[in-house]
Copies of this chain bind each other. A is one copy, B any other.
Amino acid sequence: MSKTPTLRASDNQNDGRPHVLLACTGSVATIKIPLIIEALSHHDISMRLILSSSASQFLRGQSAEQPSVASLLEIPNLEAVYTDEDEWSQPWTRGADILHIELRRWADIMIIAPLSANSMAKMVAGMADSLVMSVVRAWDTTAILDAQRTNLPSSLRTSTGKKPLLVAPAMNTAMWAHPVTHKQAAVLEQEWGVDVGGWIRLIRPVEKELACGDTGGGAMREWKDIVTIIRQYLDVEASNSTRNPTA
C-alpha cells in the first residue's frame, strides 16, 4: 500500500531529504515499528516500510498498539508500505523497474527492526525469497554503485563510504542462545560489520533477567534506542524535531 504507488529511485534523486528504508520481519517486536515511524516522522525525511509476510500478521488493526497498514500510512513522511506481492504485481517486460533494486537505490539507509531468527539465517545464507531479503541481497556492499546524493549529511555513510544497513534481532531467549545465532552474528559483525569496513550494524538484543534466575537475551533493543541510533546517522536531534504543519 502506498501514497506514491510506483517507485523509480531516480525520480527522488534530488529531493534533498534522507531516504530511510524500514523493514520488519516476523517477530512480535514488529508492534514497535509504529512508534519508531511516528518518532522519526517529525524530521524532514522520507520513509518507506517493507513487511515480510509474517510481520504483516502483527499489523492488522487487532489492537491499539497494532494498527493496520492503512492507518500507518496516515503518519507523515511514510510514503509507502510494501509486501512481497508488490514485487510481482505486474507481468515484467523489458525495461520495467524491479522493485527491490529501486528500493535499494532509493534508500540512503536501511533498518530491519525487528530481524527474526529466520531472516537472520536467510541473510547470512544469501537467500532472497522475499522482498526484504531481496533488497538485503542486492545491497551495495562495495560503495561503487550508489553514489552519495547531494546535500545529505556525511554521517549517513559508513567510514568506508557505504550505505549502512542496521539490523535489530528480536527473538525468544532460547532462539538467541542457540549456537547457530552466535555463528550468524559473527558473520554479520566480524565479516560484514561496519567496524571491519563493512555495511552492517548489528543492534544487539537486550539482556534480561529471566524467571529462572539466569540472564538471557533476545528482546529487541528498546525502540527509543533504535530511534536514537537512526537519528545519529541522520545527524538530527530529538529536541530539534519540528514538523512542518503543511507537510
Contacts and interface: CB of A to CB of B under 8 A. Distances in A.
A191 B183 CA distance: 12
A140 to B, nearest CB: 5
Interface stretch (A35-43, A89-97, A229-237): A89-97
A247 interface: no
A30 to B, nearest CB: 10
A181 to B, nearest CB: 7
Interface stretch (A70-78, A142-150, A201-209): A142-150
Interface residues of A, number: 57
A128 interface: yes
B212 A191 contact: no
Enumerate the 9 nearest inter-chain pairs by beta-carbon distance, A residue then B residue, closest first. A126-B180, A121-B126, A62-B91, A118-B128, A121-B127, A140-B174, A63-B93, A144-B214, A138-B174
B137 A62 contact: no
How many copies the complex holds: the figure is 3
Contact of A138 (B28, B92, B172, B183): B172
A91 B122 contact: no
B57 A92 contact: yes
A174 B121 CA distance: 20
A91 B60 contact: yes
A125 B129 contact: no
A174 B110 CA distance: 16
Question: Which of A63, A137, A142, A147 is the most central at the interface, judged by chain B CB atoms within 10 Å of its CB?
Answer: A137
A182 to B, nearest CB: 10
Nearest to A176: B138
A35 to B, nearest CB: 14
A141 interface: yes
A223 interface: no
Contacts of A214: 144
A160 to B, nearest CB: 14
Contacts of A66: 93
A116 interface: yes
Interface in A51-91: 54, 57-58, 60, 62-63, 65-66, 88, 91
Question: Which of A104, A128, A177 is the most central at the interface, judged by chain B CB atoms within 10 Å of its CB?
Answer: A128
Contacts of A139: 174, 178
A117 interface: yes
